[in-house]
Structure 1
């Protein structure tokens, strides 16, 4: 049986004792009354709000309101039941048996529902269950005024799917459109009648898009009370809320007792900010700020700034700071702009404050995730700030910009100057073309071109224009191989505006002309082919294995040119002679299920593991490469043998291996073998193992002859469904120094977790114990 309250077209089964004439008159009266007042009746909302409980501020911008809020007044309510009666004395309709009321994605089920069509009141009893999207409300009874959007739920419980949160109360009242109260209530993120933790209290008041207040709040671990506070306030997480975030506490030899308290500020719908106060017992008070904004779907930015008057810093000025910023901007006519700023007071700042809310690691992770661009390494004293404006066509690209190099070592260098400061690029313009056919001829062309104005604070100023077109004639010999000869013609022009004997521009050259130019040509010949074969595996839907072999020979020639008189700013100013033959062979094996459509393998191995394991069950790549230097083989002057005792025209043999033999293992390795010393010049290997239940092992070894050797290992073992142990270790074998070791244990339950960890990094010990109550935040300390 269904009742449509839109036009009150009632289709009901009435009891036999109702008078038919009376029923017809009542129906006509209802049609007329509802037609006049339908606009007022339709604005009612049916159900209890699903408010999201959280102990911290929210960083993300809001996308949609809660499903329990959204209500289109033009959408009718529909009622169905086994039996619908009219109570003449009360002038109400009563629905019994499998009663269901629906509107949009909201549904209310109960045993009995009584509807007062004059006052637009509804009362439901018996096994009351209301769903709105994935949120669920249950109770023994509910009373709701559809006009004023107020009502009462008896013995009610609300489950909020987004945060996996439960709110329970003997009597929950909706006092106005956005406010709810309960005399006694409990909140928890745990399933079950006896949750692992809950917070109980009295006089709970919840204001949507505002705060929730509860008096005499108590934290329970199952049936045991463990903490009491007389007054507890938390923001209701429907939209971003201003408020205090979870603090960080700690102790270390270098900083002493440390406490960092963030405050989140929801500025408006398109921007927010976080302010940080960091107390360090031994170093002072560090303050920081972070401002985020969104202008449109392709324009956004973030600014961050920290400042510390460091009472223990002896390397220079005690005023230490770090300013960084990234901005993306959509521009007219298909252009896009990017701005990156990175300025730091000294070279040690990023190392001293590597972790924490405003540390280098979290900052870089945020920038990489939000903007897809990382920061320079924290050990690099030269910080790069840049601006770029670019546009990409199908065959061409244009990039205009500027790059400013800030040397963090300069301020602390003797005399206040650092001799190796790079010259700023203010501005640079690049225009490039992809390889494309010249009309209907068999010839192809491509172009790399750049103009740069170099500016030095010590007075060095110069212009440089570099134009490098390349012409090629690819030729395919049947199905055997492809030959592609090409020639490049390169013209470079310098105009030195001001030099003042700057060593970077001219070195020790006696010639210092203002206008200089250089013409060079280069020749390149590529021979390559590809051989592959598909192997069908046995069994239904077993798939195929594709093995590909790609040999290649490349010859490159650049004539010798005297270039000492030219400025020496970067690699484009010194083009070395070349007469080189490079041979390589690449083997690739891919196993693919038959149901999978053809698609290229991702270049990123991690993407292959995470996104393509169900598709590619086997992946293998092995490449060998070696070069022969004809110039060095023909050289007769020992002084030109690259400071070696003998001529070495053959380069080291380089090898690369990437292997993903199954869903739970991957391996990467590369090495260079010197044929003259019969030894490795470098070798690097890393292996990753994991399984479905969460165990993992990663081991990496890095070696460079006479320069570097280190090992890193990371392991996590699931001791049970809830308990995991983890450890990591890093050591510089070359310097015989231990860089880091960490050991921890993690207990992870359905609604809470506890972690105990010890870390020793650069002779600094840290002990951490942290409890996380899902939905509320973290409680713990680091000593």
Structure 2
């Protein structure tokens, strides 16, 4: 028969071999029957009377040609008298090259010519090499691998869905055209529409008069339009012409040419502008430009226009390699109109691995003048900085040994209203330490430190200090108790350069031993009463602790204070051997600290719901070593009583309080309280209170402050946030923050106003405004870091794209 038969069947499915590898069909009338929806399709005989020999002949005949066809499936073996196979046996499959990919088809009805065309009618569907084409009608040429579809066309490939009224496509090569398409990028949640899209090849396509947005189709608050967009999937870049950004129905930004990355890789170009306002500098606009120099190096230029001061130029250079990394940043404001002088800042952070265990680092910061952070800082984070570190050093670590060599200087910013004394500089410092744990049950530590101290202040003692401190302890830890005896030997030598007229010794040696004994017990019981109240099983612990320390007295009044200060008196410090930081003061001790802690622990989860601690130190002789060098005016046998409580009994509810009580004068010396309630995401309320009583012995100044901060939804889309700190002594606010966040389906708007005290006894006000377009960019001055600093527990309200399920992408 010269014309092949055509067959139709409701919702038929079949599979076709790749165009460049298949078997030859048998001549004659054939009926197309869907036997399997798999890698190989089958053709069966049109008549059951066909002989077994003819079937085997069809299976063995091969004709390698470029026309697409199907792979035949034959059977062989013993047969019945009627010729049917008794034991079916699969013929040897035809081996395909790696690039041979089959095509699959399905429809309500289909017909076609062998090795030529297939016509799909009603819910037509064609799949090949990761590409899915669907349409009401679909024609596919097996020889050319060309498909045309009309009516409700859907084209899916690599996470992108394109829909339209018609399409013509060379499937494997991804070459073709679609008119008036709509497209969805499932991996990033974006979508858009266009007048036309041309699929140039597997990696390149062109969109004519197209749009892009991440908004839902029913609420397109913003979209980006362009006359032409070229997509290069191989290089993961896009470029376009005549781009316009539309927001809330208005064009807000335009660019004649533009390019953009298709992934998270960096590319050179302008970054989103930053807008802000400061009461000290006026309107603040920054337009950064980013240079992607290399995969491990980049440069950002950020010209900044300040309406009251002028144009500031800034740059940030970042570099990274396997052995070193760093950031170099600089800013320059020529002829500041307010200050009538040049203003500048420079910062370098560098770290480098020189060899195994050997590393070097640099941390250098400097500004032109003392009011630079007040005038040109972007927030309270930078505006309140008063000391800039200038440090470089080398560290080495091998086994239990660690070494440090560094030079450390400081730039101290002192103003007329805020006078600060500069700290001593280390020029240089050499430190060597050894730490060995569980050496036959002993913990061994040895530390030695040589430092030459220098200070720019005139008529101030300077000099060198050598400090050595070997320590040995023997921890004994058993279930329910522990005992740790410890011995420390403090050896220090000073060689001092005293100012003219100072008759005190220029060379001082000091050796002081310290012994301590730390011990504790742990008792547990079922807290049946608490369990009855809360309906859950709880365990209560009782943990008494005793800590004794002894250090003999040595007069240290002639030793200067290079790096030593009073440690903060708290529950951590009261169980240590020395109440001072640094090495210039070793307190005389004959003291016993007693403390007790109780905890309530949820049995099932192990969550600690409540902890309460009391501790006090008894001084048997009275401490005579002080920072000032003179003996204290009074000797106290008992220290202030310390107490602390932490409660977390319910989800999201947290309460913490600390108390320092002086029994001799019956006064509270310090008290802090913090309350936080966070019932859900983007909901938090914080209350805080701080009270410090003036103490001449420790140098503590009087302070009484309270603060309240919160983030809370006002409506379904509008969130309010703020903070106010109030100084009860000065009877005025110390700092304030008020802000709002509005979250839409595809964008978030943030507005925050911050006001705080500055170094010139005035207030500085900053305004932050930002719009975050979901899946595109952020425009404005980012207030998130400032809000996080002021509102503990704050979570940014964001409309981040949700990564779709693989089932959502299935076509």
TM-score range, shorter chain: 0.7 to 0.9
Q: In structure 2, what is the Cα distance between the partners aligned to 1:23 and 1:387? A: 84
1:258 to 284, 288, 296: 284
Cα contact 1:688–1:698 (8 A) shared by 2: yes
Structure 1: runs of 5+ lacking an equivalent? 36-72, 362-376, 599-615
1:29 alignment partner, SS class:
coil
- In structure 1, the partner of 2:74 is none
**CA 1:686/1:186 → structure 2, altered by over 3 Å: closer, same or farther?**
same
- In structure 2, the partner of 1:268 is 294
Q: Give the root-mean-square deviation of aligned CA atoms.
A: 4.3
Q: How far 1:589 moved relative to its partner?
A: 2.7
Q: In structure 1, what is the Cα distance between the partners aligned to 2:245 and 2:515? A: 79
**CA 1:736/1:647 → structure 2, altered by over 3 Å: closer, same or farther?**
same
Q: How far 1:242 moved relative to its partner?
A: 1.5
What are the within-5 Å matches in structure 2 for residues 143-162 of structure 1? 143-145=168-170, 149-162=174-187
1:282 to 271, 283, 308: 308
Deviations 1:561-611 (A, max 9, x none): 2345656533313322122211122223332646xxx7xxxxxxxxxxxxx
Deviations 1:517-539 (A, max 9, x none): 43221110112112234669999
What are the within-5 Å matches in structure 2 for residues 280-359 of structure 1? 280-296=306-322, 300-309=325-334, 311=336, 318-330=341-353, 332-335=355-358, 337-355=360-378
- In structure 2, the partner of 1:467 is 468
**CA 1:562/1:100 → structure 2, altered by over 3 Å: closer, same or farther?**
farther
Deviations 1:720-771 (A, max 9, x none): 2212222221222223332333333332111123445544444345566654
Q: In structure 2, what is the Cα distance between the partners aligned to 1:2 and 1:279? A: 65
**CA 1:131/1:691 → structure 2, altered by over 3 Å: closer, same or farther?**
farther
Q: How far 1:148 moved relative to its partner?
A: 5.3
Cα contact 1:165–1:190 (8 A) shared by 2: yes
What are the within-5 Å matches in structure 2 for residues 368-767 of structure 1? 378-391=384-397, 393=399, 396-409=400-413, 420-438=422-440, 444-454=442-452, 456=454, 464-475=465-476, 481-494=481-494, 496=495, 500-501=497-498, 508=502, 510-513=504-507, 517-533=509-525, 545-563=538-556, 568-570=561-563, 571-591=582-602, 593=604, 616=607, 619-632=609-622, 642-643=632-633, 646-692=634-680, 694-706=682-694, 707-762=702-757, 763-765=763-765
Q: In structure 1, what is the Cα distance between the partners aligned to 2:730 and 2:57? A: 96
**CA 1:693/1:183 → structure 2, altered by over 3 Å: closer, same or farther?**
same
Cα contact 1:157–1:166 (8 A) shared by 2: yes
**CA 1:290/1:225 → structure 2, altered by over 3 Å: closer, same or farther?**
closer
2:321 alignment partner, SS class:
strand
1:574 alignment partner, SS class:
coil
1:247 to 264, 273, 296: 273
Q: In structure 1, what is the Cα distance between the partners aligned to 2:209 and 2:753? A: 41
Q: In structure 1, what is the Cα distance between the partners aligned to 2:504 and 2:462? A: 18
Which deviates more from structure 2 when the two are superposed, residues 276-285 or residues 773-782? Answer: 773-782
Q: How far 1:775 moved relative to its partner?
A: 3.6
Cα contact 2:224–2:243 (8 A) shared by 1: no
**CA 1:560/1:11 → structure 2, altered by over 3 Å: closer, same or farther?**
same
Larger-Rg structure: 2
**CA 1:199/1:553 → structure 2, altered by over 3 Å: closer, same or farther?**
same
2:215 alignment partner, SS class:
coil
Q: What's the TM-score, normalizing by structure 1?
A: 0.74
Q: How far 1:399 moved relative to its partner?
A: 3.4
Q: In structure 1, what is the Cα distance between the partners aligned to 2:237 and 2:368? A: 40
What are the within-5 Å matches in structure 2 for residues 20-99 of structure 1? 24=58, 28-30=62-64, 77-82=101-106, 87-88=112-113, 91-92=116-117, 99=125
**CA 1:426/1:420 → structure 2, altered by over 3 Å: closer, same or farther?**
same
Deviations 1:321-365 (A, max 9, x none): 332233444554345554433333333322333326xx955xxxx
Which deviates more from structure 2 when the two are superposed, residues 701-710 or residues 320-329? Answer: 320-329
1:190 alignment partner, SS class:
coil
Q: In structure 1, what is the Cα distance between the partners aligned to 2:21 and 2:101? A: 10
**CA 1:640/1:259 → structure 2, altered by over 3 Å: closer, same or farther?**
closer
Cα contact 2:591–2:619 (8 A) shared by 1: yes
- Residue correspondences, number: 675
Q: How far 1:153 moved relative to its partner?
A: 3.7
Q: In structure 1, what is the Cα distance between the partners aligned to 2:623 and 2:306? A: 62
1:510 alignment partner, SS class:
coil
Q: How far 1:378 moved relative to its partner?
A: 3.9
Deviations 1:152-192 (A, max 9, x none): 34443333345422132242113356543223322111112
Structure 2: runs of 5+ lacking an equivalent? 1-13, 24-38, 70-96, 564-581, 695-701, 758-762, 783-811
